[in-house]
């Protein structure tokens, strides 16, 4: 993947932390920062997907609840009641 150079400003303490992690991981500063950005983007996308799924499931639950309430209201109305038919043995 082609790379583009980027100039950013960070607090000195943060840069020192990045440099320390870079040494521990035996990676250069750019790799550590790219990894951190990639993880943040993935976490953000995952959170967005979870929020969308949550919204969809809430809508489904509301629809199911209305459907169940409609069904129960139909069952409560007076009218013909159906009984299971029993077959009688012929003698």
How much is the pLDDT for 15? 97
User: Do residues 34 and 21 lie in contact, with contact meaning Cβ atoms separated by under 8 Å?
Assistant: no
Expressed in percent and rounded to 5, the helix, strand and coil fractions of the chain are 70, 0, 30
Tell me: the pLDDT tens digits for 20-72?
A: 999 999 999 999 999 999 999 999 999 999 999 999 999 998 888 888 888 88
Sketch the domain layout of the chain as residue ranges: 12-76
Please state, in angstroms and rounded to a whole number, the distance separating the CA atoms of residues 36 and 38: 5
């Amino acid at each position: 993947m082609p790379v583009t150079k980027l100039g950013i400003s960070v607090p000195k303490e943060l840069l020192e932390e990045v440099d320390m992690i870079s040494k521990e991981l035996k990676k250069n500063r750019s790799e550590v920062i790219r990894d951190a950005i990639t993880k943040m983007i993935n976490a953000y996308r995952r959170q967005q997907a979870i929020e969308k799924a949550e919204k969809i499931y809430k809508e489904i639950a509301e629809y199911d609840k209305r459907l169940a309430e409609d069904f129960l209201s139909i069952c409560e109305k007076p009218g013909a009641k159906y009984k299971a038919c029993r077959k009688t043995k012929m003698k």
